[in-house]
């Protein structure tokens, strides 16, 4: 399905691992266009090239545009490992929000890693400020009591109702899940097949 979508132009996929190879070992100056991962080679910690790539990809070209684009970022934390400053990462996300959410009426989904007793302060800064701006947070974690064969962890779904400036509190739902080979089953707490 995904390759079909790609051919129709519905999906644009930037494969970081591949394009970083092209950048580092590829021929110099193929088309004069800067690589989206320009920041890797120059040591400059700004993600402008990456943002430009996002903007040009998502800007509707002609009549066959798809309504409501979605920007999926798989692992923002990796950008930090690659030398981008946390402020640069947050700037990047902010610019993306302006373009995707406000101008194009689309959505952004971002994956980040986090850990409660993490010592990675830069990463925690990014995670916290992302949580602050998000409308919906899916927080996946292992069970506090340790590993279990039938319940692999729990997912906390936090609906940020408080962002709409009503006096209500955020809605929190917790489900537990079990991962199988090809799919995941979710169930309410304490209702795993092993217990019932």
User: Taking Cα atoms as reference points, which of 184, 131, 185 lies closest to residue 158?
Assistant: 131
- Comparison of 19 and 129: residue with beta carbon closer to other proteins: 19
User: Least distance in Å: CB of 7 to other proteins?
Assistant: 17
User: Least distance in Å: CB of 29 to other proteins?
Assistant: 15
- Comparison of 21 and 72: residue with beta carbon closer to other proteins: 21
- Comparison of 29 and 64: residue with beta carbon closer to other proteins: 29
d(CA 170, CA 110): 20
Which residues lie near other proteins (CB under 8 A)? 16-18, 20-21, 24-25, 40, 43, 75, 77-78, 80-83, 113, 115, 118-123, 142-149, 151-152, 154, 176, 179-184, 189-192, 195
d(CA 56, CA 53): 5
User: Least distance in Å: CB of 173 to other proteins?
Assistant: 16
d(CA 133, CA 163): 8
- Comparison of 85 and 161: residue with beta carbon closer to other proteins: 85
Buried/exposed 101-136: b ≥16 CB within 10 Å, e otherwise: eeebebebebebebeeeeeeeebbebbebbeeeeee
Judging by DSSP bridges, how do beta strands 107-110 and 70-73 pair with one another? parallel
User: Least distance in Å: CB of 190 to other proteins?
Assistant: 4
What are the structure tokens assigned to 155, written together? 């997912």
User: Least distance in Å: CB of 35 to other proteins?
Assistant: 13
- Comparison of 82 and 161: residue with beta carbon closer to other proteins: 82
Cβ(160)–Cβ(134) under 8 Å?
A: yes
Cβ(97)–Cβ(69) under 8 Å?
A: no
């Amino acid at each position: 399905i995904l390759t079909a979508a790609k051919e129709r132009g519905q999906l644009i996929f930037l494969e970081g691992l591949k394009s970083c190879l092209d950048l580092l070992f590829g021929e110099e100056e193929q088309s004069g266009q800067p690589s989206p991962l320009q920041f890797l080679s120059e040591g400059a910690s700004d993600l402008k090239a990456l943002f430009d790539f996002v903007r040009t990809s998502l800007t509707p070209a002609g009549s066959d545009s798809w309504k409501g684009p979605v920007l999926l970022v798989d692992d923002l934390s990796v950008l930090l490992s690659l030398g981008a400053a946390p402020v640069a990462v947050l700037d990047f996300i902010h610019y993306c929000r302006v373009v995707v959410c406000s101008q194009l009426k689309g959505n952004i989904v971002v994956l980040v890693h986090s850990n409660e007793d993490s010592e990675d302060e830069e990463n925690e800064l990014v995670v916290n400020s992302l949580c602050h701006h998000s409308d919906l947070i899916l927080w996946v974690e292992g069970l506090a009591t340790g590993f279990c064969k039938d319940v692999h962890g729990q997912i906390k779904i936090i609906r940020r109702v408080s962002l709409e400036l009503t006096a209500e509190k955020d809605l929190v739902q917790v489900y537990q899940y079990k991962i199988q080979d090809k799919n995941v089953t979710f169930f309410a707490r304490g209702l795993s097949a092993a217990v019932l």
